[in-house]
Amino acid sequence: MTRDAGFDDFLDAVEAGDPYYLVDDDGGAHLPPMPHDPVTGEAGLTERPVPEPGEILTHTTTQIAAPQFEDDTPYVTAVASFGPVNITGQLRDIPPENAEIGQAVTLGVDRSETRDERVLVFYPV
């Protein structure tokens, strides 16, 4: 699979144990790829480490998937808060019925069952 600049760099960083977000001059937090402050257009965003663990804000168990995840169903997709940034990923190592809002999670990278492609995931703490 062709790499997506910025996003795959983020996955590399998660795999290396150093996930990061970007912060602008006003303290606004953004996820890569973000070339500049999306509000002001100012360049010069700086990297900061993503604080872990995060906390699940919401989740859903998907039964009907797009072709690239057809063999992965059912799977849990969640949005989790990691300090100043929220991140979307799949929840691993827990039965879907046990997924809970408020669950503490860490970031990881796994492979999809269907196409063996990298997926951003959450592991329960």
Partner 1 sequence: MTDVRVAGVGMTPFGRHTERTGRDLFAEATARAFTDAGVERGAVEEVFFGNFMGEFAETQGHQGPLAAEVAGVQAPATRLDSACASSGAAVRYGVERIRAGADVVLVGGAERMNNLSTAGTTEALAAAADALWEIRAGLTFPGAYALMANRYFERFGGDREDLAHISVKNHANAVENDLAQYQRTLTVEEVLNATSISSPFGLYDCSPISDGASAAVLVSESFVTAHDLDAPVRITGTGQGSDTFALQDRESMVRTPAAERAGEAAFAEAGIGPGDVDVAEVHDCFTVAEVLALEALGFYNPGEAIGAANRGETTIDGRLPVNLSGGLKAKGHPVGATGCAQISELTKLLRGDHVNSDAVPDAEVGVTHNAGGTVASCVVHVLEVDR
Binding site for partner 1 (CB under 8 A): 4, 6-7, 30-31, 33, 57-70, 72, 75, 77-79, 85-90, 96, 101, 112, 117, 119-120
Closest approach, Cβ 111 to partner 1, in A, equals 12
Which C-beta is closer to partner 1: that of 3 or that of 125?
3
Which C-beta is closer to partner 1: that of 52 or that of 72?
72
Closest approach, Cβ 43 to partner 1, in A, equals 19
Closest approach, Cβ 73 to partner 1, in A, equals 9
CA 30 vs CA 35, 72, 96, 120: distances in Å: 10, 29, 29, 17
Which C-beta is closer to partner 1: that of 46 or that of 68?
68
Closest approach, Cβ 118 to partner 1, in A, equals 8
